[in-house]
Each structure stands twice: as structure tokens, then as C-alpha cells.
Chain A
Amino acid sequence: MTHTRDSLLTRITEILHEQFDVEPGSITLESRLREDLDIDSIDAVNLMIELKSITAKKITLDNFHQVQTIGDLIEAVLAFLAQDQVAN
């Protein structure tokens, strides 16, 4: 299954709403996870687990501390998926 930025935004919005009660209308590519969406470091771990529904296997983002916004997160997931494809 291929993912686009749009499909990832939709899915991540769903996850944030279901798991962390974030208002979907408040989520844009520029939203900062910590400051704007109130996602703390413990939420971030649960978020990584939930992202498995997109990436099929447990996602490891070595550079997660660099992920600040929803846009960053989408790029990081895309990079992970691309890397995963090369590895296979």
C-alpha cells in the first residue's frame, strides 16, 4: 500500500483524535505536537505504537526528537517507509 502525505495526514489525525482526544479541526501540518497538541513524551511512545497500523511493523524513528510538527512526523514516516522498502 502506498501512502501519500494526504493519506498520512488523515490517518495521523484519526489516531490523535482517538488516542489523545485532540480536536481534528485543530490539526494542520504546522501544528507542533508538544506545544499545540499537548502530546507529551509518554503520548509519543503510544503514538509510535499506533503508527504500526500504517507502517505494518514497529516504527523506529532515530530522529524522533527532531520531529516537532505534524509535517515533520509525516516526512519521518515517509522516510521510514522508503528505507524499509530498500531494506526488503
Chain B
Amino acid sequence: MMALLGWCWRLAATGFCFVLFAFGALLLGLLLAPLIYLLPWPLVRRRQLARRSIQRWVRFYLWMMRKLGLLTISFAGEQSLQQPGVLVVANHPTLLDAILLMAVMPNATFIVKAAMARNPFTRWIVALAGYIPNDEVGVELVEKAAAALRTGETLMIFPEGTRTQGDTLTLKRGAANIALAAGCPLLPVVIDCQPLTLRKGEPWYRIPAQRPHFSVRVLPLMELAPLINRAQPPGLQARALTAALSACLQAQLQAHR
């Protein structure tokens, strides 16, 4: 009986949180973004403010979800996400992953879903924050991302390109190509959610039987040199690096289950 009541509570609270998120995105996207846009500040400062605003908002949102008893969250090693000039790569099991990372990476450039950069509610804040949409033609995206890394920005990408389908990680090679082009190390992050929820194609009301726990663990930096052979053709280097990253993430996911 208590379990059923708890489940009903979480269902109602989940619905509320989806509405709250839409409302917050609206506020951020349609009210705050134009205000930031109008500030007579240099681009970099406006970008900082946009990113800070996003961080404040997602932090509040996560706090709210924890307080409502919808989930628990643990972070490990998140301080190292502040390093400049590294490419942060994470697996992407759920809808909340970007929000979890935005909460602890206020200075990072995120590579975001193209729909976010086109959506009339989110496009302004996404543009102001300097996030890069993932719909650009492969080569242009790689160049743009590598250029940002070379100037010392911290870049974040989900190498799967979308949320994990099924149990196995299938990484695209874009992340490896970006790291190779920029000559920068990878900083892998493992996101685990037990029991799994908010997967791709899963409607909001299909909530798990128990309250899910999200764990975000930052792994040690992966330097490129030991993983690839620079004398090889670029296509082979990208494949080798992608395979190494995939093995690393997969092993860490299994080790902690």
C-alpha cells in the first residue's frame, strides 16, 4: 500500500517536474535570453552569464527533483571537469544526463542536439551560451569543436550522438575525430541510472518501481598518445580511439553494477 502511494506520488511529481522544466525553459529562453542579448557587454561576458543562468536553473531543477523524492544523485570527481582544453565524453542513458553535467560544468561548451538550437524557445539561450548544435556537417562540426578546444575551452559531447539504445554503447566517431583534430585528451564520464528511466522513446509517465539513483563518475584523463599511432591514416586513428573509449566506458559501467 505504502509502495503504491509512493509510486503515485512520484508519478504526480514527475508530471509536475516536466511542466516545471518547460516553464523554466520558457522563462530562460524567452525572457532572460533577450535581456542578456541586450546587455552592452562583450560576447564572452554575455556567454558567461548565459551559462551561469543555465547552471543556476538546472541546479534548482535537480534540487527540486531530489526534494520531491524523485531521484537521488551522486557525483564523483566532478572537480576535474573544470580543466581547460579537454574533451569531456559521457555515455547517455537518460534524458537528464545533459542537465546533470550542466549543473557541474558552468564554463563548458556543450555540443547539443540540433533540435535545441532550432526550437524557438531554446535557440536564443543556446546561441548565447555558445553551445554547438550537432547537426553541422561532420567535418565542420569537428573543425568548430577543435577550434574551441585549442583556445582552451572545455568541450562536452555525448559520443553516442543520442541516448543509448538498448544495453550496448554504440559510439559515433565524431568525438574521437574532434580529440584527434585538437590533439587534446579525453575526459570520460560514466553516467549510471538504476533502475533505468527516461530512456530514449520512453514516455514520462512510465516511471520505475523504485526511486532511481543517478551516479556521475569522472574517470581519469585519457591521453591520446598511448592509444593511437599518429603514423596511421586518420580513419584508422579515429577507429582505434573510438574503440578504446568505448571499451573504457563499457568496462566502467559493468564494474559498478
Contacts and interface: CB of A to CB of B under 8 A. Distances in A.
A53 interface: no
Interface in A1-44: 18-21, 40-44
Contacts of A40: 138, 172-174
A45 interface: yes
Q: For the complex, would chain B's binding face be called helix, strand, loop or mixed by DSSP majority? A: helix
B236 A42 contact: no
Interface string B164-182: 0000000011100100000
Contact of B236 (A21, A41, A44, A45): A21
Contacts of A20: 233, 235-236, 239
A21 B138 contact: no
A10 to B, nearest CB: 19
A43 B235 contact: yes
Nearest to B240: A21
Contacts of A42: 138-139, 142, 173-174, 177, 238
Q: Identify which of B234, B235, B238 gathers the most chain A CB atoms within 10 Å of its CB.
A: B235
A42 B174 CA distance: 8
Interface in A26-83: 40-46
Taking residues whose C-beta sits less than 8 angstroms from the other chain, chain B's interface range is: 10 to 19
A21 B138 CA distance: 20
B39 to A, nearest CB: 37
Given A40-B172, A40-B173, A41-B139, A46 B236 contact: no
B35 interface: no
B235 A46 contact: yes
A19 B236 CA distance: 6
Nearest to B236: A21
A50 to B, nearest CB: 8
Nearest to B180: A42
A42 B172 CA distance: 11
Contacts of B139: 41-42, 45
A46 B181 CA distance: 13
A41 B138 contact: yes
A62 to B, nearest CB: 15
B235 A19 contact: yes
Contacts of A21: 235-236, 239
Nearest to B177: A42
Interface in B223-250: 233-236, 238-239
A46 B234 contact: yes
A18 B236 CA distance: 8
Interface in B172-208: 172-174, 177
Q: Identify which of A19, A41, A46 gathers the most chain B CB atoms within 10 Å of its CB.
A: A41
A18 B233 contact: yes
Nearest to A16: B235
Given A19-B233, A46-B234, 8 more contacts: A20-B236, A20-B239, A40-B138, A40-B172, A42-B177, A43-B238, A44-B138, A45-B138
5 contacts: A20-B239, A21-B236, A42-B174, A42-B177, A43-B238
